[in-house]
Amino acid sequence: MFNALTRGSSTFEILDKEENKILYNHIESLYRQSYFILRSKQGWTSSREWRIAIFNDDNQSAFGFPGGNMMISTGMLKTFNKEYELFYLMSFENTLMDSGFLFANFLTYIEDSIDVERLIEEADSEEAYAIGNEMVERLEFNELITEETDLAAMEWICQSSNFRTDGILSIFPKLVEDSAWSQSRKSSLNRTETARDNFLALGCENDDRATALGNTYYVDVILPLIP
């Protein structure tokens, strides 16, 4: 599905990797840190590179696929001011995938798991494209799943990285209510309060944690590269 949605004839306007090499290298580096952590902790044996595609869209959108690949919009990338905010989003999407929530939700839009196996065996790019588009448009996760995923993502970041853990607290106020990501990852009215309570309960000190390459690197270097 990832290959189908990122092909040249897709309705998604995918940024060319060669023309946007610095941007892709940095985003891929952050994503690699995120999924390496998850794979090592969960005992994944695959060494396959998980891929990420950036598509041109002002809507705040990001979504993962079963197996680890991910797509993110330029509108979402422009939402962030610090790398730990983007790292949180990546960890959130990886947690949705690893927890089984993504695949369980995905299966509601096709008949059963045998269809997935057939799709893989037949390599039907047109059917994959149709299913992928439907998944992107229709998948949504309720407030309880979002809250559980927030907690799990914070735990991963706290235990396995040097990034600030509470990225959702700075991301949430900048999310547009009717954006694709907000509409598909439902938030309770007290999402930030719950996330703050969970953060405090983790006992994960943020004072010495990094925003990767410095407090202004994302704004000074990365944001100007985003179309």
The predicted pLDDT at position 2 comes to 80
Range 182-197 average pLDDT = 91
Q: Is the pLDDT of residue 114 over 50?
A: no
Number of H helices, E strands in the chain: 12, 3
DSSP codes of every residue in 187-206:
--TTHHHHHHHHHHHHT---
Tally of domains in the chain: 1
Band (113; pLDDT cuts 50, 70, 90): very low
Digit-coded pLDDT (tens) for 150-168: 999 998 888 888 888 888 9
Residues in the chain, how many?
Answer: 227
Alpha carbon of 195 to those of 34, 89, 91, 105, 151: distances in Å? 20, 14, 15, 23, 7
Q: Is the pLDDT of residue 214 over 90?
A: no
Share of the chain above pLDDT 70, in %: 82
Alpha carbon of 138 to those of 63, 82, 184, 225: distances in Å? 12, 30, 8, 31
Cα within 13 Å of Cα(90), Cβ side: 29
For 210, which DSSP code?
B
Q: Where does 43-171 have alpha helices with state H?
A: 74-77, 83-98, 101-107, 113-122, 125-138, 143-160, 167-171
* Least confidently predicted of 77-91, 126-140, 169-183: 126-140
Host domain of residue 93 = 2-225
Structural contact between residues 157 and 36, judged by C-beta atoms closer than 8 angstroms: no
Contacts (Cβ under 8 Å, ≥6 apart) of 71 = 2, 5, 6, 12, 52, 53, 54, 55, 61, 62, 63, 65
The enclosing H or E element of 52 equals strand 52-55
The pTM (predicted TM-score) of the whole model is 0.87
Digit-coded pLDDT (tens) for 58-77: 999 999 988 889 999 999 99
The predicted pLDDT at position 24 comes to 97
3-state secondary structure of 13: coil
Band (27; pLDDT cuts 50, 70, 90): very high
